[in-house]
């Protein structure tokens, strides 16, 4: 049975209640420590009671099979900000095509507050994406996003939601980010977007996150800008979120953490491999670049990774090839070239040896049109 989670979270009654009194803000901000959210001075005396509260409104556009973690990471900081401040600083509504319900990637269904209705120009629209985002990004959704952008609304994408925003043409010439697993296909699809590897990006009235917990970081930044760093840090404490990231932080774990080995030269070689997929570097040149002999490099890889440098490099190239096959409509020939293979036959042979299927069958099993892309997301 599907879990039914009510979507009628808009309105301040869900952020402030008698059972949850406002919590005291810290006397001083943690703003100069690591993880500082901004350099703005924190508010000191609280808000003048005579001053009306400025309420910021959010519209969460839930695409089918959206990622719950990314969505929850965006909405919970808003709820907590209302609670700890004792004021209706934020309200939100859940929107979607049809206006009835949206089902996320784990099967839970959310009741929607609205369909693709006209919104106020001061609202911030956040598109919540997930698996099969291109299939979920229908023509009515694209038209709605373009219309609201023309009216001046701030628009952003959470996780693969950035794909939908880019498809609407709203990220052309802007900086943006998307989950690292979707970056290769995004670059192929949207050449006009300045894609970064940051956990989140704010470029004017366009926002994007990489997915997962990156939504928390984005919202903490917005809360800090709206109401000061004291409140943002208090919200982070309520979330047990001690490592606040900025838009300068990258998504992926460091190479030593990913491979479980802390060896500077090994990490340096892997970094060069990852940066040179289309034009592979020979083992001899890799070894020379880090001041080693080819034999020493071979021993280093076998000792720590139980495979040769050549084999490790091949696996990286095939992994990228598989992502492109599953997430784009690039021809098999173009995928082969993008991953450093001189001929489709050599590519097919290597692919089959590693994945026990051919590139053509892989493409056929996931669809051969852009509507099948991008599939991968957390």
Q: Where are the domains of the chain?
A: 4-238, 255-372
Q: Give me the pLDDT at residue 82, please.
A: 97
The second-level CATH assignment, the architecture, of 4-238 is 3-Layer(aba) Sandwich (3.40)
Cα 197 to Cα 209: distance, rounded to the nearest angstrom:
10
Q: Which three-class secondary structure string do you get for the chain?
A: CCCEECCCCCCHHHCCECCECCCCCCCCCCCCCCCCCCCCCCCCCCCCCCCCCCCEEEEEEECCCECHHHHHHHHHHHHHHHHHHCCCCEEEEEECCCCCEEECCCCCEEECCECCCCCCCCCEEEEECECCHHHHCCHHHHHHHHHHHHCCCEEEEECCHHHHHHHCCCCCCCEECCCHHHHHHHHHHCCCCEECCECEEEECCEEEECCCCHHHHHHHHHHHHHHCHHHHHHHHHHCCCCCCCCCCCECCCCHHHHHCCCCHHHHHHHHHHHHCCCCCCCHHHHHHHCCCCHHHHHHHHHHHHCCCHHHHHHHHHHHHHHHHHHHCCCCHHHHHHHCCCCCHHHHHHHHHHHHCCCHHHHHHHCCCCHHHCCCCCC
Q: Give me the pLDDT at residue 52, please.
A: 73
Give me the CATH topology for the region 255-372: Arc Repressor Mutant, subunit A (1.10.10)
pLDDT in tens, the chain (378 residues): 444 444 444 443 344 443 444 555 544 333 323 333 433 444 444 455 556 788 999 999 999 999 999 999 999 999 999 999 999 999 999 999 988 999 999 999 999 999 998 777 778 999 999 988 989 999 999 999 999 999 999 999 999 999 999 999 999 999 999 998 898 889 888 999 999 999 999 999 999 999 999 999 999 999 999 999 999 999 999 999 988 888 877 766 678 777 888 899 999 999 999 989 999 999 999 999 999 999 999 999 999 999 999 999 999 999 989 988 887 788 999 999 999 999 999 999 999 999 999 998 888 665 444 433 444 444
In this predicted model, what pLDDT tens digit does every residue of 257-280 receive, in sequence order?
Answer: 778 888 999 999 999 999 899 999
Q: Give me the pLDDT at residue 242, please.
A: 85
**CB < 8 Å & 24+ apart, contacts of 357-364:** 359/321, 359/325, 359/332, 359/335, 360/332, 362/322, 362/325, 362/326, 363/325, 363/326, 363/332
Q: Give me the pLDDT at residue 53, please.
A: 80
CA nearest neighbour of 66 among 8, 127, 10, 123: 127
Q: Give me the pLDDT at residue 132, please.
A: 86
Q: Give me the pLDDT at residue 258, please.
A: 77
Q: How far is CA 290 from CA 71, 272, 275, in A?
A: 43, 10, 15
In this predicted model, what pLDDT tens digit does every residue of 292-328 receive, in sequence order?
Answer: 999 999 999 999 999 999 999 999 999 989 988 887 7
Cα 13 to Cα 18: distance, rounded to the nearest angstrom:
10
On whether the pTM is more than 0.75, the answer is: no
Q: Give me the pLDDT at residue 4, please.
A: 45
Q: Give me the pLDDT at residue 28, please.
A: 37
- Residue with structure tokens 């940066």? 275
Pairing of strands 109-111, 124-128: unpaired
């Amino acid at each position: 049975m599907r879990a039914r989670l009510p979507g009628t979270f808009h309105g301040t009654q869900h952020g402030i209640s008698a059972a949850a009194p406002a919590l005291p803000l810290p006397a001083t901000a943690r703003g100069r420590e690591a993880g500082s959210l901004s350099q703005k001075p924190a508010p000191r005396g609280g808000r003048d009671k005579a001053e009306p509260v400025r309420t910021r409104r959010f519209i969460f556009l839930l695409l089918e099979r959206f990622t719950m973690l990314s969505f929850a990471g965006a909405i919970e900081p808003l709820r907590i900000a209302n609670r700890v401040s004792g004021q209706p600083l934020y309200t939100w509504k859940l929107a979607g095509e049809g206006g009835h319900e949206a089902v996320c990637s784990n099967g839970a269904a959310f009741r929607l507050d609205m369909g693709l209705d006209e919104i106020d120009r001061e609202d911030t629209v956040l598109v919540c994406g997930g698996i099969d985002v291109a299939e979920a990004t229908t023509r009515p959704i694209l038209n709605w996003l373009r219309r609201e952008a023309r009216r001046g609304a701030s628009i952003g994408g959470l996780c693969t939601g950035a794909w939908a925003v880019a498809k609407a043409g709203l990220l052309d010439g802007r900086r943006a980010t998307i989950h690292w697993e979707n970056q290769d296909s995004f670059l192929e699809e949207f050449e006009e977007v300045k894609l970064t590897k940051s956990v989140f990006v704010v470029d004017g009235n366009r926002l994007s996150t990489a997915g997962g917990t990156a939504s928390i970081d984005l919202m903490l930044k917005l809360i800090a800008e709206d109401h000061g760093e004291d409140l943002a840090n208090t919200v982070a404490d309520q979330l047990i979120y001690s490592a606040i990231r900025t838009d300068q932080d990258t998504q992926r774990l460091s190479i030593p953490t990913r491979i479980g080995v802390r060896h500077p030269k090994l990490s340096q070689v892997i970094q060069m491999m990852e940066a040179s997929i289309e034009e592979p570097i020979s083992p001899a040149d890799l070894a020379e670049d880090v001041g080693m002999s080819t034999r020493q490099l071979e021993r280093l890889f076998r000792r720590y990774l139980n495979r040769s440098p050549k084999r490790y490099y091949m696996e990286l190239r095939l992994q990228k090839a598989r992502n492109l096959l599953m997430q784009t409509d690039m021809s098999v020939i173009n995928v082969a070239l993008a991953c450093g293979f001189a001929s489709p036959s050599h590519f097919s042979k290597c692919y089959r040896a590693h994945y026990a299927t051919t590139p053509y069958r892989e493409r056929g099993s996931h669809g051969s049109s852009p509507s099948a892309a991008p599939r991968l997301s957390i």
